[in-house]
Amino acid sequence: MNKLNTDIFSLAGRSAVVTGGSRGIGAAIVELFARFGAKVVFCHANDAAEAAALEARLAGEGLPVSGAECDVADAAAVAAFARLAQDRLGHVDILVNSAGVSGDRPFEALTVADFDRMTDINLRGTFLMTQAFFPGMVEHKFGRVINLASQLAYKGAPAMAHYCASKGGVVGFTRALAYDGAPHGVTVNAIAPGPIETAQLAGMTEEWRLMKHAQLPIGRFGTVDEIAPTALLLASAGGSYFVGQTLSPNGGDVML
């Protein structure tokens, strides 16, 4: 039996794109990838101050990353961002589709505009960004596509039909594309986090938070630093045998 390579999680020599990378889970992934040696470009939507702060903080530690504005639901904007990323990085080895929105709305009050906004960013954005970088990965016979789904793709939630549908679509997209990528050295996988302490939960009531804590076997919400290592695993040599999988760091909220 071969000895385990101690550099199995190294991303040295790799280049990565992370969408929604200025805050939350995306920012944690940007930072962890940079710490493990990757060159990273990330995009954000109307979040220039947070993006600049992340760039400055990591540059101060000798970890240069760069961000750019991009609406992932806009095909022209995605194409322009892809050109910028390739100019800065050359070939892109790793894509993390982390950009996303959430929200609740009773189904009887749900509008077409509500549904379209949710699916445009969460699902269409994942498709457009993957379409921009996937062919290059196939050509180079190596790639890692990592999509952010949600545990709600499996369990559902009241007043969140549009969100659950969009994240369920991400899971299905991941599984299907995995068949196309694997023969060419490109793995496609997803991460379905449970409730995480991010801005999306900041507005919830204390009553809701206590109720949700009581539902979780672990008894608390997760942190972004508990999700980013799953992305590192899937991006590195340590995750090379994961194909079409959805990994679920969720505190026991869903047990598959």
Q: Please tell me which residue in 154, 163, 179, 241 is annotated as part of the active site.
A: 163
Cβ atoms of 251 and 195 closer than 8 Å: yes
E strands, the chain, are 15-18, 39-44, 65-69, 94-97, 143-148, 186-191, 246-247
- To the query of whether residue 163 is one of the catalytic residues in this protein, the response is yes
* Alpha-carbon span 58 to 18, nearest angstrom: 15
Cα–Cα distance for residue pair 206/50, rounded to 1 Å: 26
Q: What residue has token string 């457009």?
A: 128
Residue 20 · residue 98 · CB < 8 Å: yes
Please name which of 173, 31, 120, 145 lies closest in space to residue 42, comparing C-alpha atoms.
Answer: 31
Catalytic residues: 163
